[in-house]
Each structure stands twice: as structure tokens, then as C-alpha cells.
Amino acid sequence: MRPTERTKVKRVPQRGIYDIEVINAILDAHFICHIGFIHEECPVVMPTLYGRKDDRLYIHGATTSRMLRSLQEGIQASVGVTLVDGIVLARSAFHHSMNYRSVILFGKARLISDGPEKWKALKVISDQVLPGRWEEVRKPNKKELKATAVLSFPIQEVSAKVRTGPPVDEKEDYELDIWAGVLPVRSMMETPIPDPQLKSGVAQSKSVLDYYNKIT
């Protein structure tokens, strides 16, 4: 990716990354983004689920959603994805920091019309949250598909910013008797809670078992 005026990382430029493989890896590690758009001359930020496949980022929602209706008009938008990896505790207040991986994307969304592309995009979003789930569940019927809008953003004007590693303090501060280091932050799924209305005798899904086998 060649940085544009908008995607070029200005603050701490050595943290800026334009390598599409790194950008995709960050996008694939999460499923919640924050979308910024202008509605009646005001900026609005809203969280939503997303899925990434190839060079497209997909979002979905009710066709009646204000955000989706605004975005499908082809207005400029910005999408932010942020993973917090750690709290960086320095010896000085000033050098406290975060370890993180973030992506910021600029672009215009396109509404995906009914048909195979919409079906595939919905599967991409489902796979992003829990791989294998799509195959297990009742698929959307005509009415549900009609009630759902799916939009796609091109992953083109995009950059990442990453910080890793220990704190960096002023030279003279390393002599202070202050503990310094990193508190790693991790987001994880805990023991599944079955639906109280679960039909008796129904075993846990393969998608869920696979997920927990993978992380333990």
C-alpha cells in the first residue's frame, strides 16, 4: 500500500505500517470496528461487526439502519479497528503508553445487491466471528435477506499503526526505584453459556468446540 495524505502515520511515523499482509492480519484478529461518517454535517462514530476477505471489508445491518442508509449513498467514511495488547508502565508518567495494533481505513462503501455476492459476504462476517458457525445454522430466508443490508469497503486507502515492547524512558530515569514493564492485555472467550431454552439432548456445536480446542 502506498500511503496517501490521509493514511500516512504522522505521530511517531516509525510505528506506521503500509504492508497489506500486516494490515490484513490485524483486521483478521478482530471483528468489531468503529465507523466514522458524516450525518447532517456532524461526525458520527458507531461500532459494528465486520468481516474481511481478500481486499474487501464487509459490514451488515438492518436495511432501516441510519448508518447503513447513509453509507450506501457513497459518502466518505473512515473505519477504525483497534486491538489493545498491553499497558506499558514507564518510570515517568509521560512515557506511559499502550501496546496495540490498529488499522484505519478511508473509503466509500458499496451496497451489495441481492444474490450470491450478498450470501458470500454474510458468510464472511459470520466466519470472522466464529469460523464454521455458518454451516451449522439455519440460513437466512428471503424475508431476512431483504431486511439485511450488506456493504463492502475496498481495503485500499489504509494504514496500520503498531507498538510493541517494553517502555522507553528518559536515560536518567532508569536509575529510579520504580517498577516498569508491560501488563499484557488479552481478550478471550470464557465457558459457553447454553441458551436456557436449549432443546434437550442437543450437543455443543463443532464451531464452539473447535474454537475452544484451538485456544487451549
Residues 79-98 that bind a copy of itself (CB under 8 A): 79-80, 82, 84, 86-87, 89-94, 96, 98
Binds a copy of itself by CB under 8 A, chosen from 4, 19, 28, 38: 38
- Residue 55: CB minimum distance to a copy of itself, A: 20
Which one of the spans 16-24, 51-59, 109-117, 168-176 is the region binding a copy of itself (CB under 8 A)? 168-176
Show contacts with a copy of itself in window 115-154 (CB under 8 A). Answer: 122, 126, 129-130, 133-134, 136-141, 144, 147-148
Cell 484505519 belongs to residue = 104
Show contacts with a copy of itself in window 7-26 (CB under 8 A). Answer: 10-11
When asked if residue 63 is in the footprint of a copy of itself (CB under 8 A), the reply is no
Torsion of CA 169, 172, 177, 183, to 10 degrees: 10
**Burial annotation 169-179 (CB, 10 A radius, 16+ → b, else e):** beeeeeeeeee
When asked if residue 216 is in the footprint of a copy of itself (CB under 8 A), the reply is no
Nearest to 7 by CA among 207, 155, 209: 155
C-alpha to C-alpha distances, 45 to 34, 143, 150, 160, nearest whole angstrom: 6, 29, 18, 19
